[in-house]
Structure 1
Amino acid sequence: MASERAPRRRSLVYIVLASAVVMGGTGVGTAYVKAQAHADVGRVSSAAAAPVAAGASEEASVEPVADPTVEADPTVEPDTLLSEAMKPVTAAAEDGAEVSVAVLDVESGDHAAYGDGTFDTASIVKVDILATLLLQAQDENRGLTAQEKQYATAMIEVSDNASASALWTAIGKAEGLAAANKRFGLTDTEGGTGMLWGLTQTTAADQLTLLQQVFAKNGAASELSEASRTYLASLMGSIAEDQGWGVSAAGAVRTTGTAGGRFALKNGWLPRTATGLWDINSVGRVTTADGREFLVAVVSNGNTTKAKGISLVESAARAAVSVFATESGTADRS
């Protein structure tokens, strides 16, 4: 087995999280999975071209740690407000876990970040892989092939690792990712070695920058064409029902699936073989009850179970959106 690189961290947040049940996962026999026995994988889609083995997973309801309303105050820096909003999240979380979050209010352009550590991407890198493939196709003045579309659909909608490995190879692995990310404006993301795309290192701030490339609107600059953005966003809005957790908790609808367009996301989950601790990440766009749109990126590690990591990520996402709560109250938490 290839050795795992220890994540680089510039700022650590140590937290104590309420107990929750362990949630199962699914395995796929790819080079990536061989290197990491339990990398995150969703349901296996028939669209995936590589042979895969489906496994059962058991979802458990996880109640996120409650966080207070933090009303927007133009006299206080958003980062300060977010730091305050995160206090109950970190106070209630388990010792040894680390979390970082970044958020953008799409309408105003205001943004905030908490923590600047570097984390493993796990499967959230699949958004970056597809964005890179689309950018390369644009440069070649072509659309994606039928095979590439099959891989892309399986990789995003059901988090299929075999499809991700195929497209990781197609884009030129870490070198191809780095070239695209330079154009996207990512400055602290480094692709995983060889086929270990899930061990790509990133920050919440970089993931927010990538989301701005994918969900650019109202004339905002993006290296991706409108067609490329629409395609990628549509896949993120059609994720498997059992993967509707994460930043979606900050939106108006808490049910899984597309939820009427209320959220578009990609999650990542990975138990580290050396420690048994979980990396749990979530990135995407959410819409609150009053129709406001937010881009949110949450990365975490050191979680003792997948369920505890999900609870932490959801609490952080809700705290982030609460920073830009409307004057009349809060971002919807139903």
Structure 2
Amino acid sequence: MNDQLQKFMFSAAPVRGEIVSLRSTWQEVLARRRYPAPVQTVLGEMMAACALLSANLKFDGTLIMQIFGDGPVRMLVVQCGSDLSMRATARLADGLTPEEAAALPADTTLAGLINPNGKGRCVITLDPASKQPGQQPYQGIVPLNDEDGPLASIAEVLEHYMHHSEQLDTRLWLAANGERAVGMLLQKLPGDGGIVPHENELDTDTWERVCTLGGTLSREELLEQESETLFRRLFWQENVRHFEPVQTRFQCTCSRGKVGAMLKMLGREEIDGVIEERGHVEIHCDYCNQRYEFDPVDVAQLFSAPGLSEGVAPAADQRH
């Protein structure tokens, strides 16, 4: 089914997995921003991957995946809450014209889009919903390269990250187009993973076997087949326990209050300069493209009011 994440566990081995399919959730992102085809592919794969990683965490908060580089695309960001509410955005290089963006070849890899000079990096942040005093979000950073050179896909980047940062063997299969973003994760757990195998004997070959089966998946199959069909085709001979599926959805957390807090951080002098020049301040949210306008009266009220406590809206695009 669409907009659903399904968890499963292999009964005779410490191996777990997930399959996710995003349609409406992904379409909500694309309805708000026009992206060239290769950017759609990479950003959609990031959304599927972010849902898969977030669903594995026992964590109340937000998983934020950011990729930075110096190619035609400068930044890709996906945020996923513990309830699988999601939003995403991409920022192209300054000066890249719409014609140049549209001309990017559809098969441009992650390395070509964001890491042509080998300086790209992926940042994964876990931001708790309720922070203790002095608590900072956990953050892991991994370059978009390994010892053999630039990593070509989101799946390769995250497999590299999970192996080196979390010490967990993880395999990912991801795909996205203008209709769907889909993905499958397999992960080998430490030790016996807490399972109680049949006949008290672990099937030590399960990990290699299911990874080999996953490796037969093509991008076309991922995008064209429903998750249940893929699962039956791959693992019909395996003894698997399924968990209750979880729904995903698009949700942007921007608000006028958060934008106001951001303007207050910029300072009265800078905002008054914009008002004097343009007559108003206009902010567009990079995630949902919502427009927020502040006229001179709004600004005067903003800076005369007590401090706002809602926080700052990330990735806002200030347009005067």
TM-score by structure 1 length?
A: 0.27
Look at both structures and tell me which one has the larger radius of gyration over its CA atoms. Answer: 2
Structure ranking higher in strand proportion:
2
TM-score by structure 2 length?
A: 0.28
